[in-house]
Structure 1
Amino acid sequence: MIGDGKDGEIYKVADDKVVKYFFKEETHQRELEAMQIGQTSSIMPRLYEFGDNYIVMEFVKGISLARHMKRQGQIDEDMTKKILFVLDEFKRLGFTRWDTEVRHMLMNEEGEFKVIDHKRAFTSDSPVPTKLFKGMKKFGLTGEFLEHVKNLNPELHYAWKKLK
């Protein structure tokens, strides 16, 4: 077992694969739907197999955005671009939740993000990434991130300030 939570447990079954076992069928179905729709995106772990209450998916080798922020103590403009790409992908995929927690954004060995835990992709609706901001605030990096957003996408920055 490499992880567990209130919704299930995750086991590494090969160097490049994990199986996520779900306690509830409803949670399994919601996550599976998002994973299937997300297979056209580079931010989604590859889906290999699924069955009753389980999903076999890509094991992402790397670290979470939370751990990266803790180690580095900063977010640069390049990292901000990658985060904004993730948020844009959520919209492109048709997810209504355009947000994620910093611990669910995993940076692979190539420095690109893969996002896990999509059970609320279609059940939450937030135009401002409040969970992302909350995670950044924990490391004192929300202001730095928003300054980069202001430089990269002033319209988005304005919209977030207006709605926050």
Structure 2
Amino acid sequence: MDKKSGYKNLAEKFNIDLRECKFLGEGHNGIVYLLPDGKIIKIFKKIKNCESEYSILEAVRGSKYFPKVYGSMGNYIIRDYVGGECLKDYIKRNGLDKKVAKNLINLIEEFKKLNFKKLDIRCKDIYVQKDKSLMVIDPKYSFTREKSFPKHLSKGLSKLGVLGDFLEVVRIEKPQVYEEWTGKLIESGIL
């Protein structure tokens, strides 16, 4: 199926001409376009996934780690565009420096402050900005799935060969968190 045609009728219904938009990507949940005004439209395959992501972005409004959301209708949301480079690609090009590692720790701490049940995220859903700050593009199950440590993040960092570097920064910056996480990483077979 042509990436644009499957979503064309919906976009026209809401006065958005996808021919004037830049296709950014397609994932399991839907498709994303850059709008002419610099925001993005994310069109979901399932309304419940749209509603879930919208409610998460509304709940975290004001957090520096998440894009601002402007509205939702049916199976789409309009939110700020997140530039930068995917964490996975960033690490492949640059390795994991101390500032990015500290920002990853701070991101997980922010999840705690936001009362997330899921203190985890995949590398592909984190974007590193020019100043090495981080933005989350695809929050999923933050308030509904239990995960008390960054298991998927750690797996991703391990595959990239930098989990040890990350944990060393955690050990120095947050010794109690280091003990907790390493214990859980050993239990889950990642370490």
TM-score, normalised to structure 2, is 0.81
Which residue of 118, 128, 138 maps to 2:149?
A: 128
**1:121 CA drift (Å):** 0.9
Q: Secondary structure at the match of 1:10?
A: strand
Larger Rg: 2
Partner of 1:105: 126
**1:110 CA drift (Å):** 3.2
Identity %: 29
Which residue of 26, 49, 54 maps to 1:32?
A: 54
Runs of at least 4 residues off by over 2 Å: 108-111
Partner of 1:3: 25
Pick closer, same or farther for the CA change 1:107–1:11 going to 2, 3 Å: same
Pick closer, same or farther for the CA change 1:158–1:34 going to 2, 3 Å: same
Counterpart-to-counterpart distance in 1, 2:129 and 2:169: 22
How much is the aligned-residue C-alpha RMSD, in angstroms?
A: 1.2
Matched, 1:79 2:105: no
Partner of 2:182: 161
Which residue identity is paired with 1:152?
Answer: E
**1:157 CA drift (Å):** 0.3
Q: Secondary structure at the match of 1:114?
A: strand
CA deviation string 1:86-108 (max 9, x = no partner): 11111111111111111110122
Counterpart-to-counterpart distance in 1, 2:37 and 2:179: 43
**1:109 CA drift (Å):** 3.1
Pick closer, same or farther for the CA change 1:53–1:85 going to 2, 3 Å: same
**1:15 CA drift (Å):** 5.5
Structure 2, unaligned stretches of length 5 or more?
1-22, 186-191
Number of aligned residues? 163
Q: Which structure ranks higher in relative contact order (CA pairs < 8 Å, sequence separation ≥ 6)? A: 1
